[in-house]
């Protein structure tokens, strides 16, 4: 289904009275990919980008839930396709970007979201393979995605990239050394790449969520609802975030309303970073 509108929606917008009153959160005519889009934050993001008018490639390892995400988007009148992708595999990441071009003819928005919490244990009890796997899924995958996405965006004059790190990409958490280190890496990578492409029409930002009610967090506490509620109460706002609240921040960064925002790490954490 190639042939989306070729207008360069992401061009820096002069804030005239006319543009200030325009609905600049719209993503109509843009093509997006979202990794880890079969579940949680990624799925909420794919659904919101589609609701705002973007055609969305849903990339994930999980084919069943990926197909369900596509169904939800198309049932709501949006446009989406699923592409099975392991974001740790460079061949599959390159194929994911090629599939976006095949399906939609362009790539304007990329949300590099897939991740894993890794093993919760003190550092001496962490195995090398746990460490390597966590860094691979969270950080190396972001490098592979950026490397595949940027040249394609440059060909059409620019684009928007949002990586998903964590509040643990900005502050430490005991017993999650690989997760915290890899998410700090995603923040640093985002800032460096944002500087490389700031004059070439590509904005690169990173969203750093606090604790969000998703299957990942539920799995992290072994499905213990009381433990989830406790995590929510630890946040200054006194509750967990919903995936849609993280998706809203990502969609804003992808929109023209964020036209002068790049290299920014946006905490969406109910106040955790303020403590
Ligand atoms: N849930 C939270 O509290 C929280 C907090 C901070 C940051 N985050 C980050 O948000 C992102 C999304 O997390 P979530 O909570 O929505 O998790 P989730 O488990 O609900 O969804 C993650 C998705 O990523 C997919 N995935 C995992 N490894 C993959 C791989 N190698 N290739 C392709 N897809 C893969 C999974 O199949 C799943 O569909 C992660 O990067 C996570 O670290 C989550």
DSSP secondary structure, 220-233, as one string: HTTT-HHHHHHHHH
Among left, alpha and beta (phi > 0; psi -120 to 50; other), residue 40 is left
Q: What spacing in Å lies between the alpha carbon of 115 and ligand 1's midpoint?
A: 4
> What does pTM read for this prediction?
0.94
Q: Which of 37, 38, 41 gets mutated to test ligand 1 (max ligand atoms within 8 A of its CB)?
A: 41
In the residue annotation, 179 being an active-site residue is answered as yes
Task: Indicate the DSSP class of residue 240.
Answer: P
DSSP secondary structure, 81-108, as one string: EEEE--TT-HHHHHHHHHHHHHHHS---
Q: Is residue 228 part of a domain?
A: no
Q: Phi, psi at residue 39, to the nearest 5°?
A: -155, 160
Give the model confidence (pLDDT) of 60-72 as tens digits: 999 999 999 999 9
Q: Is residue 274 part of a domain?
A: no
What was the pLDDT predicted at 1? 40
How would residue 19 be classed by pLDDT, with cut points 50, 70 and 90?
A: low
The single residue listed with the structure tokens 């969305």 is 56
What was the pLDDT predicted at 47? 98
Identify which has the larger pLDDT, 52 or 19: 52
The span from the CA of 191 to the CA of 171, in Å, is: 16
Evaluate if residue 20 carries a pLDDT over 60.
Answer: no
Q: Is residue 51 part of a domain?
A: yes
Give the model confidence (pLDDT) of 213-227 as tens digits: 999 999 999 999 999
What was the pLDDT predicted at 127? 97
Evaluate if residue 11 carries a pLDDT over 80.
Answer: no
What was the pLDDT predicted at 16? 52
Question: How confident is the model over 269-275, as a mean pLDDT?
Answer: 97
153: domain CATH number? Answer: 3.40.50.720
Give the model confidence (pLDDT) of 143-160 as tens digits: 999 999 999 999 999 999
Total structural domains within the chain: 1
Which atom belonging to ligand 1 lies closest to the Cα atom of 117?
Answer: 43
Pairing assessment for the beta strands 159-164 and 109-112 based on DSSP bridges: parallel
Q: Is residue 127 part of a domain?
A: yes
H or E stretch at 79: strand 79-84
State the residue range of the domain holding 206: 28-213+242-268
What residues contact residue 241 under an 8 Å CB cut-off, 6+ apart?
209, 210, 211, 212, 213, 268, 269, 270
Question: What is the maximal distance between C-alpha atoms in the chain?
Answer: 59
What was the pLDDT predicted at 24? 81
Which atom belonging to ligand 1 lies closest to the Cα atom of 167?
Answer: 6
Q: Is residue 208 part of a domain?
A: yes
76 three-class SS: coil
* Mean pLDDT over the full length of the chain: 93
Give the model confidence (pLDDT) of 36-47 as tens digits: 999 999 999 999
Q: Is residue 16 part of a domain?
A: no
Q: Which of 139, 216, 223 gets mutated to test ligand 1 (max ligand atoms within 8 A of its CB)?
A: 216
Q: Is 142 in the pocket of ligand 1 (CB under 6 A)?
A: no
Q: Is residue 19 part of a domain?
A: no
The span from the CA of 40 to the CA of 47, in Å, is: 11
The span from the CA of 214 to the CA of 19, in Å, is: 36
Evaluate if residue 228 carries a pLDDT over 50.
Answer: yes
CB neighbours (10 Å) of residue 185? 18
Among left, alpha and beta (phi > 0; psi -120 to 50; other), residue 26 is beta
Give the model confidence (pLDDT) of 150-197 as tens digits: 999 999 999 999 999 999 999 999 999 999 999 999 999 999 999 999
Which residues share a beta bridge with 176?
none
Q: Is residue 174 part of a domain?
A: yes
The span from the CA of 98 to the CA of 205, in Å, is: 23
Which atom belonging to ligand 1 lies closest to the Cα atom of 243?
Answer: 16
């Amino acid at each position: 289904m190639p042939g989306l509108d070729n207008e360069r929606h992401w061009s820096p917008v002069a804030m005239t009275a006319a543009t200030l009153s325009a609905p600049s959160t719209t993503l109509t005519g843009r093509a997006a990919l979202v990794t880890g889009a079969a579940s949680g934050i990624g799925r909420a993001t794919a659904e919101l980008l589609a609701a705002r008018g973007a055609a969305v490639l849903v990339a994930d390892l999980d084919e069943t839930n990926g197909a369900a995400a596509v169904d939800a988007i198309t049932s709501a009148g949006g446009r989406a396709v699923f592409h099975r992708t392991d974001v740790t595999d460079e061949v599959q990441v390159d194929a994911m970007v090629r599939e976006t071009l095949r399906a939609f003819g362009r790539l304007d928005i990329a949300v590099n979201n897939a991740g894993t919490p890794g093993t919760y244990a003190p550092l001496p009890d962490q195995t090398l393979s746990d460490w390597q796997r966590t860094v691979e899924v969270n950080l190396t995958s972001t490098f592979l995605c950026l490397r595949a996405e940027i040249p394609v965006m440059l060909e059409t004059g620019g684009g928007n990239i949002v990586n998903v790190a964590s509040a643990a990409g900005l502050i430490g958490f005991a017993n999650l050394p690989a997760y915290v280190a890899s998410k700090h890496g995603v923040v640093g990578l985002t800032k460096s790449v944002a500087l490389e492409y700031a004059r070439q029409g590509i904005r690169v930002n990173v969203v750093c969520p606090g604790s969000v009610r998703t299957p990942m967090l539920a799995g992290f506490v072994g499905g213990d609802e009381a433990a989830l509620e406790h995590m929510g109460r630890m946040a200054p706002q006194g509750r967990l975030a919903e995936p849609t609240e993280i998706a809203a921040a990502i969609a804003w960064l992808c929109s023209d309303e964020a036209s002068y925002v790049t290299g920014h790490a946006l905490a969406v954490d109910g106040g955790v970073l303020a403590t």
